[in-house]
A and B are shown apart, each in its own frame.
Chain A
């Protein structure tokens, strides 16, 4: 089933290690909340802010989720240390959009997709479904943060250890003029965010309507 989507706003970000200046102090003024944020949550909130999205349905995607929290927990277990409750609550894959809901008081639906290297592809299809069912604008956002010590033990292809992309979309009434999502990828970008990254690139180049299969 093919659907056309209007792209209302889109953005992307990446860095070889830690993304600097995610504007956390402005976006999350409450220090107690800001201190609990995961790296993915900071990236996600930054991207949502850039898109001007303040509430509504969210589809979030990540292949690896909260790697820093997961590593922190397993290391604590290995070293027979106590686990931080905050670290455990932050280890779930839906932590970033849940922080968004806390920040903005958003009580709408949140779905998190984690389909390996096609995570953002499947998230975009899910967001299209949510837009079709609800008739609403949907935030579709993907991020990865694999900037952990010794990541080189398992990573030999991802150059940008932090990255993310976001799109606010709605169903387009007409498919005419809608573009297929471009293939290809920035060298060194993690594959799990490529589809959303490419949609954001298309938007920056003036494309504001895409078409895809549900």
Chain B
């Protein structure tokens, strides 16, 4: 089969670190944008990545509008929309349920994951729409589907949107699992408390023809751990398989990868296993997790980190691991300081409940 190529031509994002420009400034300055909140857990402090706006859907519309304005498209009428989200309309449902103590004022369409897809369709009239929900790999799998649809020539333009807002269900749910941190997270650090739940929006326009700013998605890989619903396989086999599949899809060697944007949530289990998987597969590749800046934006994380990966490739500057004091696993190359160099390939990892693993490989065009 002839594989058409897939280029990320335009993107826009919003997270607790602001837009893409301020996000990258924060990443390179090692300034976490996580804040302490006492509203979600009955006064207990929890560190969260909160967007400084109450209107999540207006920000979503604004992000997608920015992509359209910067693109070579007049509209999205010939564009497929693929959304990745794990929360969907949960925040809206919670608002009504907590107030009314009944479902009466919950609209079923506004509860579903597809509320994001429906909102964007109403505002932009896409050729078709689809939503993926595989927990924290949702937008990674959206990007995987998008690349494959481009590969077979089914579409020329695909907009991938990752979007998840903060809600009680996720904050309290992760608290029940005992994996939340009361402070900004410290991925891969020997001493670490846990993760920071966060909200984020990331929109990427994928096209079959490059422009001057293009980054290519050259490889995608996925796998399942088949080990446990929430704990990763301690040997890292699933993570390794996803990364290997991405490398095979791109037809490149492990030695060609310049940097890994790790899933790196800051939980005990994830970081230990991801570091082990990277150590087993790679030999000294530079690694860091930007969740120390953004927190874990759940279903939006892979799309947001795809944008971060694109920026790293364009700027030729590897980000240091924020908040790293002493690495738990000193056999992987966690960057203490940012590093300017020619960067050709960046790998980005995402792992999720159910042992769902996804890796995305990006390339700078020469």
Chain A contacts to B: CB under 8 angstroms: 1, 36, 63-65, 70, 73-74, 76-78, 80, 82-85, 88-95, 97-99, 101-102, 104-116, 119, 122, 125-126, 129-130, 132-133, 150-151, 153-155, 214
Contact = CB atoms under 8 A, between A and B. Distances in A.
Given A85-B176, A98-B224, A70 B90 contact: yes
A124 to B, nearest CB: 11
Given A63-B112, A107-B224, 17 more contacts: A64-B108, A80-B42, A92-B86, A101-B354, A102-B228, A102-B355, A109-B222, A110-B354, A111-B141, A113-B131, A116-B131, A125-B130, A129-B145, A133-B148, A153-B103, A154-B107, A214-B149
Contact of B114 (A74, A85, A106, A114): A114
A55 B228 CA distance: 17
In this complex, the interface size class of chain B, counting residues with CB under 8 Å from chain A, is 35 or more
A116 B152 contact: no
B352 A92 contact: yes
B337 to A, nearest CB: 37
Interface of B: 42, 86, 88, 90, 93-94, 97-98, 101-104, 106-109, 111-114, 117-118, 129-135, 141, 144-145, 148-149, 151-154, 168-169, 172-178, 222-230, 237-238, 241, 352-356
A115 B134 contact: no
Contacts of B223: 107-109
Contact of A112 (B88, B133, B228): B133
B356 A73 contact: no
A93 B135 contact: yes
B130 A129 contact: no
Contacts of B118: 116
A40 to B, nearest CB: 13
Which has the most chain B C-beta neighbours within 10 Å: A77, A91, A125, A126? A77
Given A105-B226, A110-B224, A115-B114, A92 B169 contact: no
A108 B241 CA distance: 10
A19 B150 CA distance: 40
